[in-house]
Structure 1
Amino acid sequence: MSTLFSRLARWFHAQMPTHEQLAGNRFTAPLARRQELFRFTRRSVPRGVAVGLLVGIFALIPGIQIVGAALLCVPVRGNIPLAAAMTFLSNPATTPFILAASIWVGNHLGFHADLSTFYALYESGAGARRWLYWLLSDAAPSLVLGLFVISVVTAAIGYLLSVWFWRGWIGHKHKARQLRPRRPAPPLEKPCAGAGA
């Protein structure tokens, strides 16, 4: 269990933008001054994870994801670096699957988008004009509703998993502290027999 926690912690640390990177971006620089948004606490960590997953999956536009997650962390007091790292779970490798799942969910909720057309556009490397034409058909409501449902459900699951992860990590640290050998207290010096005579 401890190796799982340490692997996840290393992965999150590698994905998170540094405070300096956020301060160097003109959009996130004002947020970098608010230190409470960069602390790892039992409340800010799950909120940051949920915000990052919500914005990262729903927006699907790389530049907007990090800025949107950072801005949304302000009112909910989420951890900005963690939220920014969570947006990377939607990337060029996962985006086609997210879009296909969103269309599938939207279609099951009463809308209609042709999934085979989506795959044909993706496989042929269609340009922006063809994608826009497809979206302006009846595919847009299905896709948007599906993205919304998937992003909300993923954010809720991420929130619960991060609460579990945080408790496990704190418990692991507490156990390690208890198992650490304690140094014996130095012996009390006895007063000399002739002292005070």
Structure 2
Amino acid sequence: MRKILIAAIGVHVFQQICGVEGILLYSPRVFERAGMIGKSNLLLATVGMGISQALFTFLSAFLLDRVGRRILLLISGGGTIVTLLGLGVCMAIVEHSKEKQLWAVSYIIVFIYIFVAFAGIGFGPITWVYSSEIFPLRLRAQALGVCVTVNRISNVLVVTSFISVYKKIKMSGSLFMYTGITALACWFYFTLPENEGLGL
């Protein structure tokens, strides 16, 4: 049970500490830091994120049993690493430039949409599917209760620390930090056994 519990808790912790919830919740601040102005523009950009996440989460439901849970987790992790790195580079250019970089703002919006898409196709929904499938029936309720508790605690830690972290190390620094954490998540996902097609 120890390895199963580590695998389940690990996917729940990494789902949160990769920064997805912080970026989703504070997306208007991220867009403002990038140089976007106007409440209607900020609202439109935020709505676009929600649409991107919904579409790719829906797509994930069709790919789960065709591609496999572990493969989708690795694709998701790899995609979020690349997009977080791109976001961090563009944000660093904006933060260190004295003039407004309109091209960087456009790239930041595109990178955030792709980032949310990769999160939606992989570690967003698959965390819940994977952890529900690996526990034996006699312990599933208690074990999933532990996983949900860990997930919510991790979420609260990320969301409540997001603003203070980017104020200390700038927005680009926090994005690079999340890139490193996501790389660690990919290594963890690589060690997980595949459970697609297996009975409970």
TM-score (structure 1 length as normaliser)? 0.30
Q: Which has the higher helix share?
A: 2
Higher relative contact order (CA 8 A, sep 6+): 2
